[in-house]
Amino acid sequence: MTNSVVEAPPAQVPDELTPGHSRWHGLRPYAPLAALVVAAIVPYSTLNLPGVFEGPLNSPGTLQLLAVCLVFGGLAAGYDLLFGRTGMLSFGHALYFAAGVYGTDVLITRAGLPLWQAALLTVTGGTILAALLGAVALRTVGIAFAMVTLAFAQVGAILVARDFGGLTGGEEGLPLDVAGLPSALVGVANTVNLYWLALAYLALVVFVVHRVSGSPTGRVLAGLRDDERRIGVLGLDPYRFKLVAFTLAGGLASAGGVVYCLVVSGASPHVTSSELTLSLLVMVVLGGPGTRWGPVLGGILYMYLDHRLTAFGTSDVVNSLPAFLSHPLSQPLFVLGTVFILAVYFFPGGLASLRSRLHPLLVALRRSRPSRS
């Protein structure tokens, strides 16, 4: 009788313990800094991407488009502090962004203040406005809260459209008087400085939101999102914490309005519309609510598509198509809506969920590769 020895199959090393995976986890804390450095040196690149941008990366038109995308990436991240991290659906967040845009423009153009004073007063005023209106709106919950915030935003839109006090320029908007700006922010040649200013704003918002989310206050906000009654049972005041989040988000939106006013050199009534708040909601859902980078990516992608689809809709390629195709494709909102529906259907967690959804597929492909002898 012979003894047979059954050899055990080779142990499978978990992916988390593989050298490549370990090195990646060691480098992950530095990934945001690396992304910031890459974004900061973009103006030094002459790379031309036909079809993606209308000119090289360092051209003024491309840098201005990227600056607008960065501003709205930060604005979406600030709005996510309300929606994704605290569970508050506000339809009036555009009001505080508009306060930043028009406050800066009015104080510089009408009052003749220097930029630093106008920016300081605007951000302070926008934060105080958010605190006052939030103190009233947060007396309600759910749909009632959303409707109250929408009503406040509509009041602001009416005041701007009717040129209250002759300050806003009405439906024509208010061009920014560049004579009151530093020379480094004036002229096409200095578009790169506006790009860096927008990048600094995005970095500031991400830093603030991340620090708040990781603090004890952030954990309370997450508890409010999941179950507000449990927070009350623990002896904490939900109203106070929600007011903090509402005020902070409003202040960040006002700061974004200051930067946006400088990037586009003026103010126009579209920044007061409720459609802008709905666009912010779409940005957050598209990127992934409650995640660190999802709202940022959603805001950047949405604004990029919004600008590029407008040019695409009037291009010769679309005009040469049959009418049943050219008409819908010439409407940017139609294309954006289609993209949003498909993204929500196939990726319910937004862009931030792509990694977790693709990871099992990548692992399966890696294991299916023939091993080297």
**DSSP assignments along 43-72, one per residue:** GG---B-BTTBSSBTTSHHHHHHHHHHHHH
H-helix or E-strand spanning residue 27: helix 19-27
Least confident residue range of 25-39, 146-160, 246-260:
25-39
| Model confidence band, residue 233 (pLDDT cutoffs 50, 70, 90) | confident
Is residue 118 domain-resident? yes
Distances (CA, A) of 189 to 179, 185, 195: 16, 9, 12
Is residue 315 domain-resident? no
Is residue 210 domain-resident? yes
pTM of the full structure:
0.87
The candidate with the shortest Cα–Cα distance to 335, out of 320, 348, 318, 351, is: 318
- Give the chain's domain count: 1
Is residue 114 domain-resident? yes
Residue % of the chain over a pLDDT of 90: 58
SS3 91: coil
pLDDT for 9 equals: 47
Asked if pLDDT for residue 60 goes beyond 50, the answer is yes
* pLDDT one-digit tens code per residue, 277-308: 889 999 999 999 988 889 999 999 999 998 88
| CB contact set of 274 (below 8 Å; sequence gap of 6+) | 91, 92, 94, 150, 153, 154, 157
One-letter amino acid identity for 350? G
Other C-beta atoms lying within 10 Å of the C-beta of residue 337 = 12
The candidate with the shortest Cα–Cα distance to 205, out of 253, 243, 258, is: 253
| Model confidence band, residue 327 (pLDDT cutoffs 50, 70, 90) | confident
pLDDT for 6 equals: 46
| Model confidence band, residue 8 (pLDDT cutoffs 50, 70, 90) | very low
What mean pLDDT, rounded, does the chain reach? 86
Is residue 293 domain-resident? no
Is residue 345 domain-resident? no
What is the spatial distance between Cα 346 and Cα 123, in angstroms, rounded to a whole number?
39
pLDDT for 362 equals: 64
What is the spatial distance between Cα 225 and Cα 82, in angstroms, rounded to a whole number?
9
pLDDT for 97 equals: 97
SS3 233: helix
Asked if pLDDT for residue 125 goes beyond 90, the answer is yes
Tell me, what DSSP letter sits at residue 107?
I
| Model confidence band, residue 25 (pLDDT cutoffs 50, 70, 90) | low
Asked if pLDDT for residue 157 goes beyond 50, the answer is yes
Q: Burial level of 250, CB count in 10 A (0-12/13-18/19+)? A: buried
The candidate with the shortest Cα–Cα distance to 111, out of 151, 156, 165, 161, is: 165
Place of tokens 């501003």: 71
Is residue 335 domain-resident? no
State the average pLDDT over residues 86-91. Answer: 93
State the average pLDDT over residues 324-335. Answer: 77
Is residue 30 domain-resident? no
Tell me, what DSSP letter sits at residue 273?
S
pLDDT for 335 equals: 79
Domain range holding 88?
54-272
